[in-house]
Amino acid sequence: MLTVVTGTTGKVGQRFVPRLITQAQPGERVRVVVRDAARAERFAELGAEVVTADLRDEDALGKAVAGADAVVNIAAAFRGVPDEEAWAVNRDAAVALGRSAAAAGVRRFVQVSTGAVYGTGRGRPLTEDDEIRPGGEMWGAYPESKAAAERELLALEGDMEVRIGRLPFVYGDGDPHLADVLQWAANWASSQRLQMGHHVDVAQGLMRLLYAPGVNGPVHNIADDAPVTAVELHQLNGVALPDGMDTRTDPDPWFGIMSTRKIRRDLGYRPVFPSVWSARDAGAL
């Protein structure tokens, strides 16, 4: 089995690929797609094949997926980039990659998406059956572009199976993301919550989607068990609480809070780190 992985130098990809390689069984190979081959040297040392290509270059996509059995598309333009870039990477490149993969005979395509596509809360944990309503000033075009990619990939015709993993706020393994969140959390209500997922559990969830012979529907949420509050985020970062935080109210207490019942039931997923506190205690932040 040959698995192609994109987005391998980003926060998720650079931590996912080594786990994928080291857990590979005999006969399983990994190919990474990068724009700069020098940035993939450590993957090559672990045994990965390296293909240099820009996912926005459709002529290069055929080379990237040639002979592959599966693709894991982690590549993404996150919040903070111009909207045009978000649409070009998150939707256009993802769909072009999906089409190239289908044309090359790839059997399984795992698309890494985001819980932000759900948009507003529903008064309970969000499930994979909920209608997606992407939006929110904090995110720019990121959720809309990821939602569009989901729709277009699932609409592809042919024999390729598309599976989608929706991620929460990802942290751990030295990722500075946990500190970066304070630029937003400083303006939240004290009780406002953030759904979390450690990199080791994101990798676990994606590998379950990659390898499971069958799934109950294409979409699965991947997250831990215990969203954290704005107060806890400041405590985890060793930062004093901002003045006035205790007087603010949370406009949508269920925004971004995802159920993991489906991935637990269908694929046997159990987070190694059920909460960010357990990850902290294990020295895994």
Q: Which domains does the chain have, with CATH numbers?
A: 2-172+196-225+258-272 (3.40.50.720)
Residue 137's pLDDT band, with cuts at 50, 70 and 90, is low
Question: Over the stretch 53-110, which tens digit does the pLDDT of each residue have?
Answer: 988 888 889 999 999 999 999 999 887 788 899 999 999 999 999 999 999 999 999 9
Percent above pLDDT 70 for the chain: 98
CB 2 within 8 A of CB 67: yes
Look at residue 47 in the predicted model and tell me its pLDDT. 95
Under the banding of pLDDT at 50, 70 and 90, the label for residue 139 is: low
Q: What is the C-alpha separation between 165 and 218, in angstroms, rounded? A: 8
Question: Which residue(s) pair with 2 in the sheet?
Answer: 29
Amino acid code (one letter) for 74 = I
**CA nearest to 115, candidates 79, 50, 168, 171:** 168
Strands (E), 150-227: 161-167, 169-171, 193-194, 196-198, 219-221
Alpha-carbon distance of 270 to 275, in angstroms, equals: 12
% helix, strand, coil for the chain, step of 5: 40, 15, 45
Q: Which of 221, 285, 220 shows the shortest CA–CA distance to 256?
A: 221
Mean pLDDT check: name the lowest of 36-40, 181-185, 249-253.
36-40
The per-residue pLDDT of the chain, averaged, comes to 95
pTM: 0.96
pLDDT number for residue 220: 98
